[in-house]
Structure 1
Amino acid sequence: MNEKEVQELYKNDAELQLIDDEPVSYDEAAIKEDWVKAMKAELDSIVRNNTWTLTQLPPGNKAIGLKWVFKLKKDAKGNVTKHKARLIAKGYVQQKGVDFEDAFAPVARLETIRLLLAIAAKGNWLVHHLDVKSAFLNGELKEEVYVTQPVGFEVKGKERMVYHLQKALYGLRQVPRAWNARLDKSLKELGFSRCTHEQAVYKVHNPSFILIVGVYVDDLIVTGSSEERIHEFKKKMKSVFDMSDMGKLSYYLGIEVEQTRMGISMKQEAYAEKILKMAGMSKCNATTFPMTPKLQLTKDEDGEDADPTLYRKIIGSLRYLIHTRPDLSYSVGAVSRFMQSPKQSHFAAVKQILRYVRGTVGYGLKYNGGGDDKLFGYSDSSYGTDVEDRRGTTGMAFYYSNNLITWSSQKQKTVALSSCEAEFMASTSAACQALWLRNLISDLMGEEAQVVKLFLDNEAAIALTKNPVFHGRSKHIDTKHHFIPECVERGQVCVEHVSGNLQKADILTKPLPRVKFAEMRSLVGMDDLHKDVNTTGESVGPVLTEFTGGKRCKE
């Protein structure tokens, strides 16, 4: 295959760079010194951890094969920071119930991570980042597992022998569960307790300080009211695990985090640039809105087919970008409905989103310090907007101390017969999220659960939540949607009216005109983080204020 054919096969520069920089086999890596050093470092880590012992394979047992996987570690700017070689077991040959029992391990939700950052910003706490080196090697196995010797590092004269694993190895199906169990045991020995409402978050409550730890596989973020206690925690963790202290949190799961005395900001600028490069739209013309107002996307069965692989790849990348870009939630959700059989009309809508990303690549969320510890949310719904099945879209957004922590834009599963019914169903979904957030915050902060204010712009839906009379307009509504009146009756949620012009969830339910879209984006809390920097380098973004129009809830 000549060079021209290779370039035709791999259409974008990112894939060509992947071929050039990251070996796909041991033979390719063995000729480069950096990768040889990385492989030796991986084996040294395995030996230091007492992961395996060399032995003869017992009769009736089968050894699992191993393979090398190579990865370049890069920072937010794309600079190479480390050559990483990982020895992986071919766990796909294992059978559940025979070779292992449990494979599940909890990780913190991204919305939980945002909540932790909002709590830290509110209390002016620093957030620290720890990385466990070769985390999965610390998991203790209960099963008898044998693996072959790694390619290129066989023991001379003992090539037919195998390794008996005492501890976990990457690639085994039971490894995530084993590592989580080991970490859970270690954190509890240090005095932490696991949060009831988020299994990947641990906390310590003391009359003089609070410490909170969020876990995402081998990445730990820790924050709290005492810097001295945080440093003590780091030292204790380093005595248990081989860890890297990354200092203040600055880059986490593709999210760029900046901590200043004014607050905490989050964006995915580098990731957005990668998406544009992958789609071949790095130099496209920018636009100021992600979707044409009143655009009605349909299945378009007679339309020209689009490349389904590229379409799904772009959509999947955009969905991860939503973690700091609520302004993209509705538009990306709308084009996600056609991944099974994408057409050129759908791809045109995706290109419009990418052009908007190009023009707003530096946008993100800013969490300001201070605040009142209050949790409140907005719920909205469109009515019959989908021309295919006439279902609406539910939008919700929740704020903690005036900082946006979670949002959602989802197509409703039931066809509503009126705008009141659509708003009522949306408010029920929002109530479920509100209960989880209030309980999680109460658990993390050691405080009594607060009443959550939920703002709606439909008076009829508000009346129905407060007085669930089964009259002609509501008797047919599914029982599950009558959950919110119980929440209101128990004093867990308080529903209030808000003007449609101040309904922050409106941007999550439909494509808005460009001027209205810009207004709602700013109202939600999105801004260009490039311009919010003063001469001292401190962020100076606008401080959001809570609107509490209408009748007040009882405190």
Structure 2
Amino acid sequence: MTKNLKEHDLFSSVQQRTNHKDFQNCLFACFLSQEEPKKVIQALKDPSWIEAMQEELLQFKLQWVWTLMDLPNGKRAIGTKWVYRNKKYERGIVIKNKARLVAQGYTQEEGIYYDEVFALVARIEAIRLFLAYASFKDFTVKRMCSKFEKMMHKKFQMSSMGELTFFLGLQVKQKEDGIFISQDKYVNEILNKFGFSDVKTARTPMETQRALPKDEDGEDVDEQLYRLMIGSLMYLTSSRPDIMFAVCACARFQVNPKVSHLHVVKRIFRYLKGASLDRKSTTGGCQFLGCRLISWQYKKQTVVANSTTEAEYIAASNCCGQVLWIQSQLLDYGYNVMQTKIHIDNESTICIVKNHIFTSKTKHIEIRHHFIRDSNEKKLIQMIKIHTDQNVIDLLTKAFDVSRFQYLIASIGMLNL
């Protein structure tokens, strides 16, 4: 600070910092508990968690969650349990202490207390499709929803979080040139959790020189740790298609994993810091809304393909199923999309889709895969040949050298922000 600094200049600087979102969150976090209690007796010693529990019970009363009644003779009541969680901002700052009173459902037996279980879960592809639509229409999510917010407030007790920045573990950045999703916070968490914060980085998630072997005679590793690492990486694939092939290849060895498999998993983590075992084929597909990648799939087929054409045909059928689902979702947005282009680098597969005559190449293909022909006849899809060099789906089915790998991740729209 200099002697010539005016009072107004000092005030403007302070005012600008206090209006910053991170500053406001940090200031608010000072009045919240930073620890999550494990037991009720611990929560009752903290005013923040007492208030959170009172809020949960108040919402039960306002929403008429239950009706108090006498317990029937010979019946046992299902117990309840308090669950305490800290809601955090994308930078890890606690923004809310949330207490939930839940039923101890694990005490019930299927067929006696219930017949089926249903949980409403949003598909991650639906979220990406919505964000892609918002980007296409050039509007900011929730900024244009004030009317909807007021209408909901009249009927329900709810709070508005403002502009969308963090949702279901995904960080969302809305800019003038598009909407970008990432899981940077989660990446840092798993790197710290498994001790990869200070390691040498790798430029690709998997080596290209060798396939991943079964290695039945190799040294065993901790199966629980291996599965924990794979599970953490699988959750990350919701925003990182670049690691999909490597993670799924390693996931095949969760039963009795070996040291060689663990080395490959560690390479994926090092990549995040900076093979054919039988005749079953590896297939993948990715779907774009315009130039916006919204979904991708990787799967090792459960059947043995008798030819490359058959494997490609099954992959095209799986992609067609995903396309039809996206078309149905877009109907809710007022768009009736027909003749969606499906690009494939196998000419024989396109011929099979357009030709109903069974040949030696098609007689082994299961009937359930032939719905793609019906979709083509109805002009719901359109099969188009693409050159292998331009086929970005290779990113999900094999390993590459650095230059080819970087070209592919750039082609699907992955950026370093």
Please indicate, yes or no, whether the TM-score normalized by the shorter chain is above 0.5. Answer: yes
Q: In structure 2, which of residues 92, 110, 126 is the aligned counterpart of residue 78 of structure 1?
A: 92
Once residues 448 and 37 of structure 1 are traced to their aligned partners in structure 2, the CA distance between those partners, rounded to angstroms, is 49
Count of residue pairs the alignment pairs up: 384
**RMSD (CA atoms):** 2.1
- Written as runs of structure 1 = structure 2, the 5 A alignment for 1:117-132 is 117-128=131-142
> Matched residue of 1:247: which SS?
coil
> Matched residue of 1:104: which SS?
coil
Partner of 1:309: 224
Shift of 1:419: 2.0
Partner of 1:464: 352
Q: In structure 1, which of residues 404, 407, 419 is the aligned counterpart of residue 296 of structure 2?
A: 407
Shift of 1:303: 1.1
Partner of 1:445: 333
Alignment partner of 1:114 is 2:122:
no
Partner of 1:344: 259
Task: Tell me: CA distance 1:67–1:108, structure 2 relative to 1, closer, same or farther (3 Å).
Answer: closer
Percent same amino acid among aligned pairs? 39
Name the amino acid aligned to 1:401. G
Partner of 2:177: 262
Once residues 231 and 199 of structure 2 are traced to their aligned partners in structure 1, the CA distance between those partners, rounded to angstroms, is 20
Task: Tell me: CA distance 1:55–1:501, structure 2 relative to 1, closer, same or farther (3 Å).
Answer: closer
Give yes or no for contact 2:327–2:336 (8 Å, CA) kept in 1.
no
Alignment partner of 1:292 is 2:180:
no
Partner of 2:157: 242
Task: Tell me: CA distance 1:421–1:244, structure 2 relative to 1, closer, same or farther (3 Å).
Answer: same
Task: Tell me: CA distance 1:52–1:408, structure 2 relative to 1, closer, same or farther (3 Å).
Answer: closer
Give yes or no for contact 1:72–1:83 (8 Å, CA) kept in 2.
yes
Alignment partner of 1:104 is 2:19:
no
Shift of 1:319: 1.0
Once residues 261 and 515 of structure 1 are traced to their aligned partners in structure 2, the CA distance between those partners, rounded to angstroms, is 29
Once residues 274 and 77 of structure 1 are traced to their aligned partners in structure 2, the CA distance between those partners, rounded to angstroms, is 11
Once residues 57 and 444 of structure 1 are traced to their aligned partners in structure 2, the CA distance between those partners, rounded to angstroms, is 45
Task: Tell me: CA distance 1:101–1:242, structure 2 relative to 1, closer, same or farther (3 Å).
Answer: farther
Partner of 2:388: 500
> Matched residue of 2:332: which SS?
helix
> Matched residue of 2:252: which SS?
helix
> Matched residue of 1:296: which SS?
coil
Task: Tell me: CA distance 1:526–1:310, structure 2 relative to 1, closer, same or farther (3 Å).
Answer: same
What runs of 5+ residues in structure 1 fail to find an aligned partner? 1-19, 129-222, 360-384, 530-555
Name the amino acid aligned to 2:222. D
Once residues 68 and 351 of structure 2 are traced to their aligned partners in structure 1, the CA distance between those partners, rounded to angstroms, is 72
Alignment partner of 1:251 is 2:166:
yes
Once residues 333 and 61 of structure 2 are traced to their aligned partners in structure 1, the CA distance between those partners, rounded to angstroms, is 41
Shift of 1:99: 4.1
Name the amino acid aligned to 1:518. Q
Structure richer in strand, relative to its length: 1
Bigger mean CA deviation after superposition, 478-487 or 453-462: 478-487
Structure richer in helix, relative to its length: 2
Give yes or no for contact 1:22–1:70 (8 Å, CA) kept in 2.
yes
Shift of 1:352: 0.5
- Written as runs of structure 1 = structure 2, the 5 A alignment for 1:1-400 is 21-52=35-66, 57-96=71-110, 98-100=112-114, 103-128=117-142, 227=144, 230-359=145-274, 385-387=275-277, 389-400=278-289
Shift of 1:126: 2.0
Shift of 1:279: 1.1
Residue deviations 1:499-533 (CA, integer Å, cap 9, x gap): 1111011111111122111111111111112xxxx
Once residues 58 and 489 of structure 1 are traced to their aligned partners in structure 2, the CA distance between those partners, rounded to angstroms, is 60
> Matched residue of 1:414: which SS?
strand
Residue deviations 1:378-398 (CA, integer Å, cap 9, x gap): xxxxxxx522x2211111111
Shift of 1:413: 1.8
Name the amino acid aligned to 1:477. I
Alignment partner of 1:485 is 2:373:
yes
Once residues 161 and 48 of structure 2 are traced to their aligned partners in structure 1, the CA distance between those partners, rounded to angstroms, is 22
What runs of 5+ residues in structure 2 fail to find an aligned partner? 1-33
> Matched residue of 2:249: which SS?
helix
Once residues 457 and 109 of structure 1 are traced to their aligned partners in structure 2, the CA distance between those partners, rounded to angstroms, is 29
Task: Tell me: CA distance 1:352–1:470, structure 2 relative to 1, closer, same or farther (3 Å).
Answer: same
Task: Tell me: CA distance 1:445–1:45, structure 2 relative to 1, closer, same or farther (3 Å).
Answer: closer
Shift of 1:253: 0.6
Name the amino acid aligned to 2:128. R
Name the amino acid aligned to 2:37. P
Shift of 1:47: 3.6
Partner of 1:200: none
Once residues 40 and 199 of structure 2 are traced to their aligned partners in structure 1, the CA distance between those partners, rounded to angstroms, is 39
Once residues 233 and 177 of structure 2 are traced to their aligned partners in structure 1, the CA distance between those partners, rounded to angstroms, is 29
Residue deviations 1:133-159 (CA, integer Å, cap 9, x gap): xxxxxxxxxxxxxxxxxxxxxxxxxxx
Give yes or no for contact 1:295–1:511 (8 Å, CA) kept in 2.
no
Alignment partner of 1:435 is 2:350:
no
Shift of 1:493: 1.5
Shift of 1:474: 2.6
Shift of 1:64: 2.3
Once residues 287 and 70 of structure 2 are traced to their aligned partners in structure 1, the CA distance between those partners, rounded to angstroms, is 59
Once residues 67 and 346 of structure 2 are traced to their aligned partners in structure 1, the CA distance between those partners, rounded to angstroms, is 68
Task: Tell me: CA distance 1:478–1:61, structure 2 relative to 1, closer, same or farther (3 Å).
Answer: closer
Name the amino acid aligned to 1:386. S
Once residues 303 and 54 of structure 2 are traced to their aligned partners in structure 1, the CA distance between those partners, rounded to angstroms, is 57
Name the amino acid aligned to 2:227. R
Task: Tell me: CA distance 1:506–1:56, structure 2 relative to 1, closer, same or farther (3 Å).
Answer: closer
Normalised by the size of structure 2, how large is the TM-score?
0.86
